[in-house]
């Protein structure tokens, strides 16, 4: 019997045993995921879906009052991106601001909403993309794009339940 045949006879059963042990251990470990960890993972997955939906609209024109799919205003873009993640948002930036749970800048995660607020009125909204950037539909004559957050004094953050 050749050396390679001997090795194969030893390694194939060992590999099969290792794989079956992995399959038996993995479900037991999965059962010990805390509710907080599961909620955090679900929030991250939804956030990634929202960011991906906003990113997919890159280059589409701004049009006041438009909710897509061919043009957007700011709240139309956020509403559209959230709808792709199966979450309904109110229509306007102000209504989205009222509906969102306010969070700190330290707590913001991709997919959260970023609001520009003057007094108590939200006049612009965007999707947080991470690294201090947002996906937004800026203004007439412009297009959906990724931008660095500006005018930090007026910025507030929100997270939508769902």
pLDDT by residue for the chain (162 residues), tens digit each?
554 444 344 434 444 443 443 344 445 455 678 999 988 899 999 999 999 999 999 999 999 999 999 999 999 999 999 999 999 999 999 999 999 999 999 999 999 999 999 999 999 999 999 999 999 999 999 999 999 999 999 999 999 997
Q: Which CATH number fits domain 33-159: 3.40.50.620, 3.90.1720.10, 2.40.50.180, 3.30.830.10?
A: 3.90.1720.10
Residue 40 contacts residue 122 (beta carbons within 8 Å): no
Angle at the Cα of 46 from the Cα atoms of 120 and 154, rounded to 5 degrees: 20
pTM: 0.80
**Assign residue 121 a region: left if phi > 0, alpha if psi is -120 to 50, beta otherwise?**
beta
* Catalytic sites, residue numbers: 74, 124, 136
For residue 52, the Cα-to-chain-centroid distance in whole angstroms is 7
């Amino acid at each position: 019997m050749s050396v390679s045949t001997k090795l194969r006879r030893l390694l194939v059963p060992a590999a099969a045993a290792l794989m079956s042990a992995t399959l038996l251990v993995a479900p037991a470990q999965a059962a010990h995921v805390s509710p907080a960890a599961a909620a955090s993972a679900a929030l991250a997955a939804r956030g990634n879906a929202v960011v991906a939906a906003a990113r997919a609209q890159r280059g589409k024109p701004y049009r006041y009052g438009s909710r897509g799919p061919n043009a957007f205003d700011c709240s139309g873009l956020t509403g559209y991106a959230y709808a792709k993640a199966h979450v309904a948002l109110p229509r306007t930036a102000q209504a989205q601001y009222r509906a969102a749970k306010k969070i700190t800048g330290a707590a913001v995660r991709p997919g959260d909403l970023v609001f520009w607020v003057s007094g108590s009125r939200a006049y612009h909204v965007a999707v947080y993309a991470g690294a201090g950037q947002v996906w937004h539909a800026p203004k007439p004559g412009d297009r959906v794009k990724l931008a660095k957050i500006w005018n930090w004094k007026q910025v507030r953050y929100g997270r939508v339940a769902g």
